[in-house]
Chains A and B, each alone.
Chain A
């Protein structure tokens, strides 16, 4: 593990601890919703970071198709895996928030449904990668999924404006109490650093996996020649 990665890991842990302490103990509970509103400090940043992760997948997929540099493919794959983690977390946290406020764990409401579709798309992206043996083919196929699949991400964001149903649209910073906004932004920063740290570690692993795959293929070719 490199020095930068270690420092980033320490910073991510520190910020995450501070963010959780502020969200759980420092900021006052919401008068109407009570303690469950504190889930906002993890649910909202997880959702934002999931979307950012898939935006990175989109950009890296475009770059791969234009330049055919395997580095862009490996960054896209790493970001997709971390994005899947954040999306699953967003849905689970939303469900925990939904039960005491809406009375249900799950409902086929537009924001929830489009988010579930987003999770399925990127699980599909990872599945496509595991099906293809040839690295170039794998990178090409997954780049196409990474670009086409991104169509759902703005739909997730806009769903609360297009169909005004159960899930509320994002609050404006002007309509939120300053301490709530502070806790939210602090946790958003913590989640962003965690994302960058996880992406960096996953990318390094992907580089090593690719190298291993290359050596094994070379080895197999040598054996078959002999």
Chain B
């Protein structure tokens, strides 16, 4: 009966953490690319 809430909770936990890691990766790539472009423009 209560297993639906339990499954939802674990899916939410995994989903939230994996989404955050994915968003971090996107931000890391974007920042690195922008840094490279700015450094090239300075030189």
Which A residues lie at the B interface, using CB under 8 A?
16, 20, 23-24, 33-36, 38-39, 42-43, 46, 85, 88-89, 92-93, 96-97, 99-100, 194, 198, 201-202, 204-205, 208-209, 211-212, 215-216, 218-219
Size of the B side of the interface (Cβ < 8 Å), in residues, is 26
Evaluate contact between B2 and A43: CB separation under 8 angstroms: no
A212: chain B residues at CB < 8 Å are: 31, 34-35, 38
Least CB distance, A97 to chain B, in whole angstroms: 7
Contacts of B39 in A (CB 8 A): 215
A96 touches B41 (CB 8 A): no
A208-B28, A212-B31 are contacts. A42–B9 as well, Cβ < 8 Å? Answer: yes
Main secondary structure of the interface of A (DSSP, over half): helix
Decide yes or no: A96 and B35 within 8 Å by CB, A198-B20, A198-B21, A219-B41 being known contacts: no
- Interface residues of chain B: helix, strand, loop or mixed (majority): helix
Contacts of A211 in B (CB 8 A): 35
Chain A residues in 8 Å Cβ range of B17? 16, 85, 194
Is there contact, CB below 8 Å, between B16 and A219?
no
Docked Cα-Cα span, A154 to B3, in Å, equals 33
Interface string of B1-43 (1 = CB under 8 A from A): 1110110111011101100110010011001101100110110
B8 touches A208 (CB 8 A): no
| Residues of chain B with a CB closer than 8 A to A209's CB | 31
Closest to B32 in A: A208
Are A38 and B6 closer than 8 Å at their CB atoms?
Answer: yes
Task: Pick the contact of A89: B1, B2, B16 (CB < 8 A).
Answer: B16
Known: A35-B2, A85-B16, A96-B8. A205 touches B38 (CB 8 A): no
Q: A23-B10, A89-B16, A198-B21 are in contact. List 20 more A-B contacts (CB 8 A).
A: A20-B10, A33-B2, A34-B1, A35-B3, A35-B6, A36-B6, A38-B10, A39-B6, A39-B10, A42-B9, A85-B20, A88-B16, A89-B12, A93-B9, A194-B17, A205-B27, A205-B31, A208-B28, A208-B31, A211-B35
